[in-house]
Amino acid sequence: MSEAPFAMEGSAGVVAMLHGTERALEILRATFGHKAFRGAQGEIVAHVAGGGDALVLMPTGGGKSLCYQVPALLREGTAIVVSPLIALMQDQVGALAQLGVGAAFLNSTLDAATARDTERALESGSLDLLYVAPERLTTPRCLDLLSRSKIALFAIDEAHCVSQWGHDFRPEYLQLSILHERFPAVPRIALTATADPQTRSEIRRRLGLDEARVFVSSFDRPNIRYAIVDKQEARAQLLRFIRDEHADDAGIVYCLSRRKVDETAAWLSGQGFAALPYHAGMDARSRAEHQARFQREEGIVIVATIAFGMGIDKPDVRFVAHLDLPKSIEGYYQETGRAGRDGEPADAWMAYGLADVVQQRRLIEQSEASDEFKRVSSAKLDALLGLCESAGCRRVRLLDYFGEASAPCGNCDNCLDPPQTWDATEAARKALSAIYRSGQRFGAVHLIDVLRGRDNERVLRWDHHKLSVFGIGADLDENAWRGVFRQLVAMGLARVDHEAHGALRLTEASRAVLKGEQPVAMRRAVERKRAATRRSSPAGGDLPAPDADLLARLKAWRLTQAREQAVPAYVILHDSTLAEIARRRPADLDTLAGIGGIGERKLERYGASIVALVLERG
């Protein structure tokens, strides 16, 4: 381990800072195989290595891990990384082992003997990083262990879990303020990819980071194309999306319920896809097996509840699809952010309908949470509905939620195929009148039947064929009316009453529309054509035939290595690194060393084999 180069004052401190910057860059190159820091990484590393506290907000795939891993190698002692997921710990430690970094984890998967060995390694100072779950870290035993050890820094990953208003709240994170109390001289860095201004404030307050320096990178993920479609036949829509654009790709499909996860995974399997379910109702062994296959094999589609995903490190997820509406923009951003971590083109696709809104409202109202929590949850859902119903750039709306101004992106469905809008004032008045005339006791399906003049059993039973609104909406089809009612709810002109089994009721805001005092413009409810089929290939997809053949052989070699070592393939080398090798065809180790992602340890371990593959067949 290296000594801390930043802890000096005056002119000597300037010299030390420069030396520290050089050392940081050398570690970045020699250990991680990168030539330069990206964005604010270098500044964050210098600040934390110098003993400063930090809150880092950086998008998924932006390189958050380096912000604590490099300082861990610069400072004396062991960096303690608070991580909420066992699978993430194992992947991180496995990846660091490939780089020659002394890393380990303490969690419930270890037997007693292995845990004791890890504890002794920490006390002896032979570890660079130790990953610990928050519930274990705050036990008296673990805190005493840390007190007997030399600690370089504390890194609190997925820091948004401390927020009670967030989508991934974990009560055990609330106890992490004890780190500042017990170890006031040890720098702390909290990191997250998802935090609106309210959540940022709560992270700082609950973790005792009020004096910490805040680093906020852009939340934009320009490689992700966002698309939200009106839900009609959701499975058929999903199938078209995957078949047309991601037939052989790894992806994640999110569903709200366990039953829907199981049914959708089985259905996709029946359509010829390697689809696996994942949810908390499965036994631990099956969950672990499915996650391992997703991490280590290519082309696997995981169908999951939100129990799956946080901390997923797989870089080549090409799409994330939602068959149900998430709870908030934070949840949507976090989940879609699992696509395209490698910077290559990826898709975030969602099918959304009024039933989703009804379902989410019901979950909020029927929860045992406080009234304040319900109010905040409803506001977050309203913000998400605004994103879904927006006729403008999705990315502009998304980034604005996180306080970031931007221009239209040209890479979302609304930019690539601008939606039609129409004067829906008259249709809105008809729909609102139907809600009122029927006694505000019925949902959209029944109201559409009334408006379209369908004299079915339910309409006749309630004598709604005698209402003045019966048949006045025959000029619009059922799909158009679904869009009208959905947008009325999103606009706050109608609300869902869950105590009345999802009945629609008027709001005070509807009065002006009914009186003809307020016009209403809406998005036209049509399923737009996708802007392109399979718009881009994964890394290396543009290679000429000889180089593509070399890339295929490199991937086969990597898969063999991964299976022998029981690690995900990307832990050996990323796709982008293999593609660059195929392009440049390094004929010796010195040339290979100049390719991004090839550090000293990987050059030593794999260099000869890679060069031999390059030279094979010319």
Q: Which CATH number is 606's domain given?
A: 1.10.150.80
Indicate whether 335 and 465 sit together in one domain.
no
> Is 4 within a domain?
no
> Is 539 within a domain?
no
pLDDT in tens, 175-217: 999 999 999 999 999 999 877 788 888 999 999 999 999 999 9
Measured distance CA(409)–CA(429) in Å, rounded? 35
Indicate whether 482 and 563 sit together in one domain.
no
Q: How far apart are the first and last CA of the chain?
A: 42
Measured distance CA(558)–CA(571) in Å, rounded? 9
Lowest mean pLDDT among 376-380, 532-536, 596-600: 532-536
Please give the order of strands across the beta sheet that includes 301-304: 224-230, 346-352, 317-322, 250-254, 301-304, 275-278
pLDDT in tens, 443-498: 999 999 999 999 999 999 999 999 999 999 999 999 899 889 989 988 889 988 86
> Is 535 within a domain?
no
Contact in structure between 349 and 319 (CB atoms under 8 Å)? yes
pLDDT surpasses 60 at 314: yes
The number of folded domains in the chain is: 4
Nearest by Cα to 253 from 414, 262, 244: 262
pLDDT in tens, 419-430: 989 999 999 999
User: Which of the listed residues 216, 232, 250 is the one where a domain comes to its end?
Assistant: 216
Indicate whether 500 and 563 sit together in one domain.
no
Measured distance CA(95)–CA(99) in Å, rounded? 7
Indicate whether 449 and 578 sit together in one domain.
no
Nearest by Cα to 17 from 2, 28, 7, 27: 7
Other Cβ atoms within 10 Å of 390 Cβ, number = 18
Indicate whether 248 and 391 sit together in one domain.
yes
> Is 438 within a domain?
yes
Tell how many helices (H) and how many strands (E) occur in the chain: 27, 17
Residue 600 lies in domain: 545-615
User: Which of the listed residues 216, 248, 274 is the one where a domain comes to its end?
Assistant: 216
pTM: 0.80
Grouping H, G, I as helix, E, B as strand and the rest as coil, residue 231 is: coil
> Is 532 within a domain?
no
Average pLDDT, the chain: 89
Indicate whether 558 and 479 sit together in one domain.
no
pLDDT of residue 10: 43
Q: In whole angstroms, what separates CA 113 from the centre of its chain?
A: 36
Indicate whether 207 and 80 sit together in one domain.
yes
Q: Which residues contact 43 (CB under 8 A, 6 or more apart)?
A: 215
Indicate whether 194 and 255 sit together in one domain.
no
Measured distance CA(612)–CA(80) in Å, rounded? 39
Indicate whether 248 and 186 sit together in one domain.
no
